[in-house]
Amino acid sequence: MHIPDGFLNLPTAVASGAVAAGAVGYACARLRRTLPPEKAPLLGVMGAFVFAGQMVNFPVAGGTSGHLLGAALVTILLGPWAAMLVMTAVLVVQCFVFQDGGLSALGANVLNMAVVAPLVAAAVYRALGRAVPSGGRPFLPTVVAAWATVVVAALFCAAELVLSGTAAAAVVFPAMLGIHALIGVGEALLTAGALAVIAAARPDLWPVPRPAEVAE
Amino acid sequence: MKRTAWLGILLAALGVAAVLAPFASSWPDGLEKVAETLGFAHRAEIGPLVSSPIPDYGMPGVGNSRLATTAAGVVGTLVVFAVLYGLVRLLVARRRGEDARTE
């Protein structure tokens, strides 16, 4: 759902860019205080994995494709603040090197996929953590969080299109919701699959969330 | 963080970019499809504001389109890794500098 140049008007682009910049700046400030130095390579390789995963479009219904977003995967592994930095780096490289997502829409794309998506993933993952029996794998929180990231990011994208006067709310919200509810199923399967593989080698990287604790 | 764990993820990323990406579906994605259906796709025809070295994930100068995608994917995967690794090292290095001054 990378928004290209031409879809957003100037006020929407500037406003979403300002919110995105503030959020990513806050994430960086938090990481500066809290990130263990030995996690630096893990942030790098997760960004690389998300970039690669986003290249692989899979077909969904009606001649439409979707691809991994990756925000839930990185949030569950590294927490929402690290995920914001990782997802922002992916989007910036995609925009400047690969012409994927417009420069004028970079702020909106960062807001939807690098700020909102990790916050949604963290909130849902934590909220559903209490449903996981002790010793169990957090499959349910993982798949619901992954599905929700795609759907909520798509709704933010739709809202930006409405604010820009590009599309009418009555049609663009149902259209974006419908297709991304399907793409979100792919996101849920890919996220749980990737975490199952990683947890086979490193069970500590797929922690069972507890509602009271903040995933850092 | 054990080196083998993150090296494994990096190798998996390179494998996905090199082997799977060339066989990705070329159908429009969710937003592109909605833009076509609702009739605002033409607004993107103004083209990108900045030109990119590897537009649309195809390495320029590589004739075979699957190989062009493989090359673009491998380069992009390594660029994202390098950018993030450098950024995080900068963040953490600045913290270390501050710690040293306050001691």
Interface probe with A: pick from B2, B4, B29, most Cβ of A within 10 Å: B29
What's the CA gap between A180 and A1, in Å, rounded?
9
Q: Between residues 42 and 101 of chain A, which touch chain B (CB distance below 8 Å)?
A: 42-53, 55-60, 62-67, 85-86, 89-90, 92-100
pLDDT tens column, A97-155: 999 999 999 999 999 999 999 999 999 999 998 777 766 789 999 999 999 999 999 99
Q: pLDDT band at B103, cuts 50/70/90?
A: very low
Report ipTM for this prediction: 0.92
pLDDT tens column, A122-137: 999 999 987 777 667 8
Q: Amino acid identity, residue B68?
A: A
Contact in structure between A97 and B76 (CB atoms under 8 Å): yes
Q: What is the pLDDT of residue B88?
A: 93
Domains defined along chain A, listed by start: 10-205 (1.10.1760.20)
Q: How far is B101 from chain A (nearest CA, A)?
A: 15
Q: pLDDT band at B97, cuts 50/70/90?
A: low
Contact in structure between A113 and B58 (CB atoms under 8 Å): no
Q: What is the pLDDT of residue B1?
A: 52
Tokens 């795609």 sit at which residue? A150
> CA–CA distance from B51 to each of A162, B71, B73 (Å)?
27, 19, 18
